[in-house]
Chain A
Amino acid sequence: MNLNQLRTILQEEKIIFSFSGTVTQSLVVGIAKSMKHELEKRGEENSIIDSIFSIVVEQLQNIMSYSQEKESQDSKGILLLGFSEEKNKYFSITSNQIKEDDKKKIITKIELLNAMSAKEKRKYLRDLLKSGEFSHAKGAGVGFVEISKRASENLLINFNEFDNSEYFELKVYV
């Protein structure tokens, strides 16, 4: 295996940070912190850094809690943080294995969020919290709302098959 192949892809796609493996809480902390440090070094604005921090934590914790909830799924995930020169924006992509049955639920949720204004998202989140619907759920429900609040564009989702398993991809522009 030649790692330069991987390196070439990362370079071409303007990836600043990449991770692939089992997501754990200590990794979430380590990744989020080192990304923050890296972005500070690049002289980024605090508001951008805080948004990226928040999005990345939610994305990774979503992967973690999803796999805990559905015991059969592993919590392996891929995370890429990159910079799009075309848009002059950072983006964060995650991918993890999901159950085929959950595909529809995710699509419905993301479409709902993508159709909302910033103000509506704030209200929607608080209504969710008040309803108690998510009181003990670890699910991605609230996480997606938070990610979409911090994103500068609609959330982009993709589903694809790999090794006979279904994978969910979420791309967020900051």
Chain B
Amino acid sequence: MEKLYLKESEYTPEIILDKENNLISFIGQSYPENTFEFYQPIMNWIGKYCENIPTNTKVILELTYLNSSSFKAFFDIIDLFEGARKKCNCSIDIDWIYDKDNDIALETGEDFQDDFEDLNIVLIEKN
């Protein structure tokens, strides 16, 4: 699979989808105008990746701000991982990285933890 890299913009995060290193990473804030159109190709890539998922996958989510439709998009992305996890004998480690004084980001990470119990979502505080 081709590596997909998107540079961070003013309202979308840096995105790395790298099959070779089994690394998927989103860093930055997300509040695009047409969230679903923006994330559709990302969802397609991850969907394909999950069809043939390797033994270990590392997912880094360092999202400082998500608008409501981006929250929905990430909910769907994590849901893809959970679907894959249920069917495979593999580990998917998700690091949810948040700033010490960003209560909203912490709360969002906790929501994801609660909703996806089959995944190993670790909340990591950044100073």
Partners in one complex: yes
| CB contact list, A10-65 vs B, under 8 A | 25, 28-29, 32-33, 46-47, 50-51, 53-54, 57-58, 61, 64-65
| CB contact list, A59-77 vs B, under 8 A | 61, 64-65
Per a CB cutoff under 8 Å, which of B33, B101, B107, B111 touches A64? Answer: B33
A-side contacts of B69, CB under 8 Å:
61, 138, 142-143
Give the distance to chain A from B127, nearest Cβ to Cβ, in Å: 14
| Structural contact, B65 and A54, CB atoms closer than 8 A | yes
| Structural contact, A57 and B72, CB atoms closer than 8 A | no
| CB contact list, B22-38 vs A, under 8 A | 31-34, 36
B103 sits at the interface (CB 8 A):
yes
| Structural contact, A47 and B103, CB atoms closer than 8 A | yes
B-side contacts of A50, CB under 8 Å:
65, 102-104
Per a CB cutoff under 8 Å, which of A28, A61, A64, A129 touches B71? Answer: A129
| Structural contact, B67 and A57, CB atoms closer than 8 A | yes
| CB contact list, B1-60 vs A, under 8 A | 10-11, 31-34, 36
Given known A-B contacts A46-B101, A136-B36, A25 and B11 have beta carbons under 8 A apart = yes
Inter-chain CA distance A134–B36, complex, in Å, is 11
Inter-chain CA distance A66–B76, complex, in Å, is 23
Inter-chain CA distance A29–B67, complex, in Å, is 12
B-side contacts of A25, CB under 8 Å:
11, 32-33
Given known A-B contacts A61-B33, A126-B111, A129-B72, A54 and B10 have beta carbons under 8 A apart = no
Measured CB to CB, the nearest residue on chain A to B115 is A126
Given known A-B contacts A28-B31, A61-B33, A122-B111, A54 and B103 have beta carbons under 8 A apart = no
| Structural contact, A54 and B67, CB atoms closer than 8 A | yes
Measured CB to CB, the nearest residue on chain A to B72 is A129
Measured CB to CB, the nearest residue on chain A to B110 is A122
A169 sits at the interface (CB 8 A):
no
For the complex of A and B, the 6 pairs showing the least CB-CB separation, nearest first, are A146-B68, A25-B33, A142-B68, A46-B101, A129-B75, A143-B68
| Residues of A that sit less than 8 Å from B by CB | 25, 28-29, 32-33, 46-47, 50-51, 53-54, 57-58, 61, 64-65, 122, 125-126, 129-130, 134-136, 138, 142-143, 145-146, 150
| Residues of B that sit less than 8 Å from A by CB | 10-11, 31-34, 36, 65, 67-69, 71-72, 75-76, 101-104, 107, 111, 114-115
